[in-house]
Amino acid sequence: MASLSICSLVSFFSGERKSLDRGENHFKSDHVQSFIYSRGVIKGEVQASMKNKDYKVTIYLDENLEIKNTECECPRGEFKCSHAAAIFIYGIHNLSRTDLECQWKRKRKAESVQSASQMFPAPPKKKDYSPLARDPSREDRMWLYSELKRYGKFTGTCWILSPEPQPATPLPIKTIEDIIYSEGFLMASTKEKQLEYLIENAKVEERTINVVSTLTAGQRNSPAWHQARRGRLTASNFGSVLQAKRVTPSLIKRLLGEYNLSGVKAIAWGQDNETEALKSFTNITNFTPVQTGLWLHESGVLGASPDGLVGDDSVIECKCPYTHRNATIKEACGHKDFYLEEKEGNYTLSTTHVYWHQCQGQMFLTKRKFCYFVVWTTKDSVVIKIERDESWEHNITILSDFYFHQLFPKITEGEL
């Protein structure tokens, strides 16, 4: 039997450098309390960094001893946590190259509390040493900042010591807020004239659209991306608008971003595993997507942010379904709520699902012919090539009209 490999560890925890670093710290600090390997399953216990508590960890391996999935009792246990990394790192160093099962458990050491002077003793040759005798240097501050960053949890001191954020790159377009707070808009005497002012000042040329898509690359990690899309109707919400039977307050709140979804497990799972889905796409197709940002419609009020560009004529959109995260694609298709349909071993995206409208919107706004729709789970992945449906184009007018006559009035009332 081959031993556990560092390559498997790095591949599974790709994009989770913090978990890897903290996992290595757990291992070096002897936080691994037990380790059991049997038939492709590793189980163990890891002591929490700052608590007198152990978390139980389970790691599932495939026939090549590559990590398939991990579970942990900690708050991040459904994701790729540092405790799972610590157990696997322990296995790399200690699991023998035989088919024998492996079991080990550490005896709990008696807890002893040390004073600060014991933990940080004074230099032996300086009897009158005092740490307050000199002002802290820049190197001192940077060392403390790096140690707090390694800790991985929020602290007020870390926030105070953190560098000032870089100013956002100036955008070559007016934001919606720029327009509604401008003198021309405020001087408009009626709502009709305000709407006319918006329509005229929100328009963007093709050259500017391309510049904005470049400046906002990085999307969630780009301040410019957040600034540019604020107050605009984006492709992820096209389906919700087109399928809405009536305009409800909850729909308006969702479109204006009043519901913070970043903490929802399904959203976090999709964001955390987008890199895995992109890797899977490259492995299946041998194509490497190029990072991109926000693509605007000529009206300036509609936008789309595909997960990448492929070649000269395609975009890519990745989905990592949380509910079916441990299922194969075929198994997921057995559920009525799943957005893929299977016919004779071939998969298609349902044309009635909101994701269909999202993909079509992305293709029309980027002026591309195809969308590679990638669905990734811990057990399977599939790539579906969707062609642009020319009959969908009339929805652009519907969406623009909805923005001007339903959404924008709410923005001017202070809802943004």
Task: Tell me how far apart the alpha carbons of residues 172 and 179 are, in angstroms, rounded to a whole number.
Answer: 13
87 contacts: CB under 8 Å, gap ≥ 6: 32, 35, 42, 44, 46, 57, 59
Indicate whether 7 pLDDT > 50. Answer: yes
* CA–CA distance, 377 with 371 (Å, rounded to integer): 19
The residue that leads in pLDDT, 252 or 318, is 318
Closest CA relative to residue 243, chosen from 148, 322, 327, 354? 354
Confirm if 13 and 80 have CB atoms less than 8 A apart: yes
Strand, helix or coil at 131?
Answer: coil
pLDDT at 162 over 90: no
The per-residue pLDDT for range 14-55, each reduced to its tens digit, is 878 888 888 998 998 889 999 998 888 999 999 987 667 889
Q: pLDDT for 167-180, tens place per residue?
A: 666 899 999 999 99
CA distances, 236 to each of 11, 44, 241, 367 (Å)? 29, 41, 10, 17
Distance CA 219, CA 305 (A): 8
Give the HSE-up count for residue 232: Cα atoms under 13 Å, Cβ half-sphere.
30
> SS3 for 299?
coil
* 348: β partners: 341
Residue 354 has what pLDDT? 97
pLDDT average, residue stretch 131-159: 83
pLDDT at 168: 60
Per residue in 199-222, pLDDT (tens digit) is 999 999 999 999 999 999 999 888
pLDDT at 415: 59
3-class SS letters over 141-208:
HHHHHHHHHHHCCCCHHHHHHCCCCCCCCCCCCCCHHHHHCCHHHHHCCCHHHHHHHHHHHHCCCHHH
DSSP state of 388: P
Mean of the pLDDT values across residues 120-144? 80
Global pTM exceeds 0.85: no
The answer, yes or no, to whether residue 258 has pLDDT greater than 60, is no
- Return the sign of the alpha-carbon dihedral for residues 11, 15, 16, 20: positive
Q: What is the rounded CA–CA span in Å between residue 230 and residue 258?
A: 11
Banded pLDDT at 372 (limits 50, 70, 90): very high
- Check: CB of residue 348 under 8 Å from CB of residue 340: yes
Confidence of residue 385 (pLDDT cuts 50, 70, 90): very high
pLDDT for position 261:
54
Is residue 227 over pLDDT 80? yes
What's the pLDDT score for residue 341? 95
Mean pLDDT is lowest, of 150-159, 248-257, 402-411, for 150-159
Nearest residue to 203 via CA among 68, 296, 283, 114: 296
Least confidently predicted of 245-254, 344-353, 397-406: 245-254
Sheet with 302-304, edge to edge strand ranges: 233-234, 302-304, 295-296
The mean-pLDDT minimum among 91-95, 196-200, 307-311, 411-415 falls in 411-415
- What are the chain's domains? 6-95 (no CATH), 176-413 (3.90.320.10)
